[in-house]
Amino acid sequence: MYCASFSDKTIEHFMQPRNVGDMPDADAVGSSGEPGCGDFLAIFIKVSDNRISDISFLVDGCVAAVASSSVTTELAKGKTLEEAAAITDQDIVAALDGLPEHKLHCSVLGATALKNAVEHYYRRRQGNNQGGGSRSTA
């Protein structure tokens, strides 16, 4: 069975992903992947006192992509922006009790989208993201 190569933690996050959904009032959005031709992840964050107070995601991808996205949000919620930006793909894999070698790229989606969301937040705060309400991503 294909799922036998996934840890119980990965299957749990796939079957019951945390923090799924759009966040229209997000302070920032970050994405990673290629929409339409592979796995694609968008992470939405709300920030309060330099901490991620709320986080959600939308993903189009496989079991590992969904699980990686879910666990990324759990790792980041409540962290400072600096702590969240420091989350690596290895941290995501460890939180899932491992991923099969051919699925390790899915953990990179989470780490990259999260870093892009933090960068987007900083750009918006600096006023470099003109256009009011834009949901552009890095």
Catalytic residue among 16, 25, 37, 126: 37
Catalytic residue among 76, 99, 106, 111: 106
62 flagged as catalytic: no
Cα distance between residue 37 and residue 16, in whole Å: 25
- Among all chains, which residue has been given the structure tokens 């840890």? 7
Cα distance between residue 18 and residue 56, in whole Å: 8
In the DSSP assignment, the letter for residue 26 is -
Query: Residue 44: phi, psi to the nearest 5?
Result: -115, 135
Burial 52-63 (b: 16+ CB within 10 A, else e): bebbbbbbebeb
* Alpha helices by DSSP H, the chain: 8-15, 63-76, 81-85, 89-95, 105-126
Active site residues: 37, 106
